Amino acid sequence: MNPDKLFDYLEGRLSAAERAALEQRLISDKQLQRELAVARQIHAGMRGDSREVLLPSKPDVTEQSRKMALRVGTAFIILMAVNVAFGLWLIARHETRNPNRALLETQMREQITKSIERAAATLTPAPNALGITEITIPAATGKLDAVAVEVVTIASRFGGSATKGLPDRGRLSVLVDVPANRESEFRAAIASSVGEKPESSTFAEATADKPTPATAQEPGSAIPATAEKKSFVVQIVEASPK
């Protein structure tokens, strides 16, 4: 049958007689029934009154590819994470059962300790490397500050200067600078103040009587002063109660 007649039938453009005749024929004609079914599908895809058939749009291939790549990437990441976790679990299990683990940890700690000690020995300056001599003198209990004031006074008497520190667990330090040629007098005065010879380093003993050139006359003193200074750290140690 002419397809246009089928479309006219679907659109209701046939007369009553033609419509009745077509419907009567459809009852017994299988071929016509199939043609009408095809015409109905085509008619459903037409746009407006035109005979243009709108086919179903194809899915976006790019979007499908992106989704597929995302799924594959996610599955790969999950698989890698599972493999890494399983490997770490095996390593931890093996290390836990290792009978030499404690020995290895001990050796590692010893190596770290030795490295720190070597670094400290390298970075720590030798005694008197800065030209500062340490003198240790005793003090009676509760007399740290009084002895420190006396050390400052002695340093000033010989044309020097002194800076007193703060008491710390029964000790107090005084940084003293005196003219180098007054060193022996300063030592003698310190020893006289405590009634005994103060303890000092070997370097100090070796340089205590070394002569130095005089450059100026100290007021009120028969011994000329010098611009060269000698530095001391006087450690005042509080005697422990008996």
Distance between CA 98 and CA 128 in Å, rounded? 50
Q: For the segment 199-235, what is each residue's pLDDT rounded down to a tens digit? A: 444 334 434 444 444 334 444 445 455 568 889 999 9
pLDDT attached to residue 215: 39
Tokens of 38: 């095809």
pLDDT attached to residue 142: 85
pLDDT attached to residue 238: 87
Name the pLDDT band for 150 (thresholds 50, 70, 90).
Answer: very high
pLDDT attached to residue 218: 45
For 32, counting Cβ atoms within 10 Å of its Cβ (0-12 exposed, 13-18 middle, 19+ buried), the class is: middle
pLDDT attached to residue 165: 87
pLDDT attached to residue 110: 86
pLDDT attached to residue 216: 41
Average pLDDT (2-28) is: 85
Q: Which residue is associated with the tokens 């290895």?
A: 104
pLDDT attached to residue 34: 87
Distance between CA 232 and CA 187 in Å, rounded? 10
Each domain of the chain, given as residue ranges in start order, spans 3-44, 132-238
Q: Of 166, 172, 167, 200, nearest to 184 (Cα)?
A: 200
pTM: 0.39
Average pLDDT (11-40) is: 86
Distance between CA 191 and CA 199 in Å, rounded? 9
Assess whether pLDDT exceeds 50 at residue 91. yes
Name the pLDDT band for 196 (thresholds 50, 70, 90).
Answer: low
